[in-house]
Amino acid sequence: MSTAATNGPSVADRLSAAGTANALELRGVTRMFGALAALSDITLSIRPGERRGVLGSNGAGKTTLFNCITGDFLATSGTIRFFGEDVTAFPAYERIRRGLRRTYQISLLFAGLSVLDNVYLACRGVSRNRFSLLRPRRNDALMSSAEDLVAAVHLSDVKDDKVATLAHGQQRQLEIALALAGAPRFILFDEPAAGLSPTERSELVEILTSLPSHMGYIIIEHDMDVALRVVDYVSMMHNGRIFKEGTPQEIENDPEVQELYLGGAHA
């Protein structure tokens, strides 16, 4: 992209406004930790509304990929565009402001608060009035958004319960509601099915497939049964690189993937 001064919006801004830019566009993204390349030359395009699975063994670089996309870590080299805008050097909060969200492998919930209050605080945190000193009223617009999000993750029955009393699966559902606060454009889910029972996994699949269709995501998931049911396309990672991409069907039937990922080591 030219850095010369121009009149009017840049090409990227116009593409973005016209809705033709990719939701995410990574070019040659590398992330070093000392001498270790946790990510090597990752190039990845995701269309608006697309749902992508990222699969790979432990240490493949999946979470580092998320950290570079969100800005929790900066890429060592390469570029990252979010809806056409170059966000490579942006801090995490600037990316959040533009509609990017994530969930973490480790939970960040307020255990002593109710389900609804956790979601309410997340909605308040990403709203324009977050610094308002007025005491929030129970009937304000944010509270009604919070109620909607609680319903979207199937927790209405327990909305007044304290988080500490929830089952593990319900806590993970609540984390999804927090990521949905403020109507994001794109979400990164880091192993949302980890530690879930089969019933909880089905519920997760239902929640993910019921998200509004314009809302794209990347899901990192060890459980192929979950991952392949909730994505349009899959990227396979190994040693910091993407080594294969395909539809869920292609990935499931691929002999190399079966050997590496579904073989003896995969319990």
Ligand X SMILES: Nc1ncnc2c1ncn2[C@@H]1O[C@H](COP(=O)(O)OP(=O)(O)O)[C@@H](O)[C@H]1O
Q: Which is nearer to ligand X, 46 or 60 (CB)?
A: 60
Tell me the per-residue interface mask from 42 to 71 with ligand X, x by CB under 6 A, - otherwise. --------------x-xxxxxxx-------
Q: Among 21, 24, 38, 174, which residue sits at the site for ligand X (rule: CB under 6 A)?
A: 38
Give the pair of three-digit tokens for residue 154: 């199937």
Q: Under the criterion CB under 5 A, does residue 67 sit at the interface with Mg ion?
A: no
Indicate the residue type of 241: R
User: Angle 69-71-74 (CA atoms, 0-180°, nearest 5)?
Assistant: 95
User: Angle 216-54-23 (CA atoms, 0-180°, nearest 5)?
Assistant: 30
Q: Among 9, 33, 91, 112, which residue sits at the site for ligand X (rule: CB under 6 A)?
A: 33
Q: Which is nearer to ligand X, 77 or 114 (CB)?
A: 77
b/e sequence 58-78, b meaning 16+ C-beta within 10 Å? eebbbbbbbbbbbbebebeeb
Separation of alpha carbons 97 and 216, rounded Å: 16
Tell me the per-residue interface mask from 141 to 180 with ligand X, x by CB under 6 A, - otherwise. ----------------------------------------
Output the smallest distance, CB 52 to ligand X, in A: 15
Q: Which is nearer to ligand X, 5 or 35 (CB)?
A: 35
Q: Under the criterion CB under 5 A, does residue 63 sit at the interface with Mg ion?
A: yes
Q: Which is nearer to ligand X, 63 or 145 (CB)?
A: 63
Q: Which is nearer to ligand X, 73 or 233 (CB)?
A: 73
Q: Under the criterion CB under 6 A, does residue 192 sit at the interface with ligand X?
A: no
Q: Which residues contact 84 (CB under 8 A, 6 or more apart)?
A: 12, 13, 15, 16, 21, 22, 25
Burial (CB count <10 Å: 0-12, 13-18, 19+), residue 149: buried
Closest CB to Mg ion belongs to which residue? 63
- Judged by CB under 5 A, which stretch of 63-71, 82-90, 114-122, 174-182 contacts Mg ion? 63-71
Per DSSP, helices labelled H in the chain are: 11-17, 62-70, 92-97, 115-125, 141-152, 168-180, 198-209, 224-227, 248-252, 255-261
Q: Which is nearer to Mg ion, 85 or 175 (CB)?
A: 175
Contact footprint for ligand X (CB under 6 A): 33, 36, 38, 56, 58-64
